[in-house]
Amino acid sequence: MKPPAAVLPPGFTVELNRTVTVRDHGRSLVGGSPTRAIYLSRAAASMFAGRRLAVDRAGSGALVDKLLEIGMADPVLDTLPAADESDVTYVIPTYGRPQSLDRLLTSIGPHKSVIVVDDASPDSSEAKRIAAAAGARFIALPENLGPAGARNAGLRLVHTTFVVFVDNDMVVTDGAVATLLRHFGDPRVALIAPRVIGLQLSTRVNWISRYEDARSSLDLGPTPATVRPRARVSWVSTAFVVARVEALGAGFTDGMRVGEDVDLVWTLVERGWRVRYEPAATGAHEHRVTLSDWAKRKAFYGTGGHALALRHPGNIAPAILAPWSVSVMVALLAQRAWSVPLALGISAVAAVHISRKLSRHEHPLRIGIELTATGVAASVSQTMALLTRHWWPLAVLGSIVSRRVRRATIAAAILDVVLDYRRTKPQLDVVRFGIARRADDLAYGAGLWLGALRGRSTAALRPDIRGRR
């Protein structure tokens, strides 16, 4: 189902996020996700109160909608209307782990509409007893369908406006659902996800748990975002989300056992709906902390790349590069005396080319240089990820026969750890953090290649090189 033609309600307010720089006396905005520059008319620029913009006059609603779409602005939470939590049904897919189910139901609290879907556990009697004690409806599936099928089975029984999907290894924190529901003041929002943090269990603390607390695959960081392919936040986990039932249709793609959350998000976006990430709300996840379970889960995530590449061609590309930035990376990887001068020359030409498209701005060359610098930094980051994560089997083979490949791979592996350690500030020494970081990438990359080999396709491994900015 496509979103309604309804417009944003009066008073809906957004604020330019910290990626955005305001220039030309408020006429130019540079930032967003991916980074871009836009030019405002005088009338549009006058609608802002500082960095905030409210839907309060003709044309402001369309501008707010545009800024949300391109990732330049985020809703101001305290200006959004409160929603009715009684119009929500919780759907919990479960397989075994009755103690975790009990913990989750306790965190949800009493007097809530809850459907527990047992995905053909070997023994569902304890889960059934726990659900009954919490006043939840219990459904036992005759065969194991996986998370997607179990959630869909629960979704078909939902009669409220909103549904909360939450896995049984999660804990719902106080106020999280109420916070997320506020975003549905935007009639185009189909799904909203909180920040997923680690569940603090004193009996399960080790170096893997500390790494996961700092850099879990489910934790998308402290900054709110519009979620869409190729953006800074391109997906959210459905381990804990709130969704508009009418937007979901039949729900998840039946049969998908990995990547079903990414598939749902991208499908909703393709239909014209909006998906948001809101870290002001949190849920706690019981991370895997034994090395074997943790590595298997990372590899399992990687195997989903092939199915996503088939369903959403191009969106799963491990890197998105412009031809000029590819040339810069090739020059730097050559590691010759002329490498840096050539890379700088290519970047200078790219900056001039970009600036010619920004003629309405007061300082087009300055903006062009900044956009080019941002592009180079992003290209370096993506190239490092290719060497250490997505293409590491090729990097290892190349390192055996080439000193330049070996130097580039080692440099990328070390620099990535240093930058990530500074960014995440984990409660872990840099050596063990570095080992976990590399093991994380090795496991995911192995799963990615395994999925590609099984599917006999390199679609999930190929970068997307585009000339259009």
How far CA 349 is from CA of 136, 289, 343, 377, in Å, comes to 63, 49, 10, 16
Can you give the pLDDT at residue 467? 54
Q: Three-class SS string for 8-67?
A: CCCCCEEEECCCCEEEHHHCEEEECCCCEEEECCHHHHCCCECCEEECCCCCHHHHHHHH
Helix 403-424 crosses helix 207-215 at what angle (to 10 degrees)? 80
Report whether 119 contacts 146 (CB < 8 A): yes
Can you give the pLDDT at residue 205? 86
Closest among 373, 324, 379 to 30, alpha carbons compared: 373
Q: Would you say residue 359 has pLDDT above 50?
A: yes
Which two tokens mark 187? Answer: 């009639």
**What is the rounded distance in angstroms from the CA atom of residue 275 to the CA atom of residue 400?**
44
Which two tokens mark 281? Answer: 């709300």
Q: pLDDT by residue (tens digit) across 81-134?
A: 888 899 999 999 999 999 999 999 999 999 999 999 999 999 999 999 999 999
Tell me which DSSP letter residue 82 carries: P
Neighbours of 193 (CB within 10 A): 29
Alpha helices in 134-233 (DSSP H): 146-155, 176-181, 207-215
**What is the rounded distance in angstroms from the CA atom of residue 350 to the CA atom of residue 335?**
21
**What is the rounded distance in angstroms from the CA atom of residue 214 to the CA atom of residue 198?**
9
Can you give the pLDDT at residue 201? 81
Q: Would you say residue 468 has pLDDT above 70?
A: no
**What is the rounded distance in angstroms from the CA atom of residue 442 to the CA atom of residue 392?**
7
Report whether 104 contacts 112 (CB < 8 A): no
Strands 36-39 and 28-31: antiparallel
**What is the rounded distance in angstroms from the CA atom of residue 240 to the CA atom of residue 170?**
7
Question: What stretch of H or E contains 243?
Answer: strand 240-244
Burial class (CB in 10 A: 0-12, 13-18, 19+), 109: exposed
36-40 contact pairs (CB < 8 A, 24+): 36/70, 36/371, 37/358, 37/361, 37/367, 37/371, 38/70, 38/72, 39/358, 39/360, 39/361
**What is the rounded distance in angstroms from the CA atom of residue 46 to the CA atom of residue 38?**
15
Report whether 114 contacts 92 (CB < 8 A): yes
**What is the rounded distance in angstroms from the CA atom of residue 409 to the CA atom of residue 395?**
7
Q: Would you say residue 59 has pLDDT above 90?
A: no
SS3 143: coil
Report whether 67 contacts 22 (CB < 8 A): no
Q: Tell me the average pLDDT across 293-319.
A: 94
Q: pLDDT by residue (tens digit) across 62-83?
A: 999 999 999 999 999 999 988 8
User: What percent of the chain shows pLDDT beyond 70?
Assistant: 99
Can you tell me which residue has the tokens 């980051």? Answer: 381
Better pLDDT: 195 or 6: 195
Which two tokens mark 356? Answer: 């010619």
Please report, as a single letter, which amino acid is at residue 167. Answer: D
Report whether 447 contacts 308 (CB < 8 A): no
Question: From the DSSP assignment, how many helices (H) and strands (E) are in the chain?
Answer: 17, 17
Q: pLDDT by residue (tens digit) across 222-234?
A: 999 999 999 999 9
Q: Would you say residue 469 has pLDDT above 50?
A: no
Q: Would you say residue 453 has pLDDT above 80?
A: yes
Q: Would you say residue 204 has pLDDT above 90?
A: no
Which two tokens mark 207? Answer: 């170096």
Burial class (CB in 10 A: 0-12, 13-18, 19+), 379: buried
Report whether 438 contacts 388 (CB < 8 A): yes
Name 152's bridge partners.
none
pTM equals: 0.94
Which two tokens mark 305? Answer: 């790349």
For 290, phi and psi rounded to 5 degrees? -85, 140
Can you give the pLDDT at residue 100? 95
Contacts for 431 with CB less than 8 Å, ≥ 6 apart: none
Q: Tell me the average pLDDT across 308-317.
A: 92
Question: What stretch of H or E contains 165?
Answer: strand 162-166
SS3 136: coil
Which two tokens mark 223? Answer: 């900054």
User: What percent of the chain shows pLDDT beyond 90?
Assistant: 91
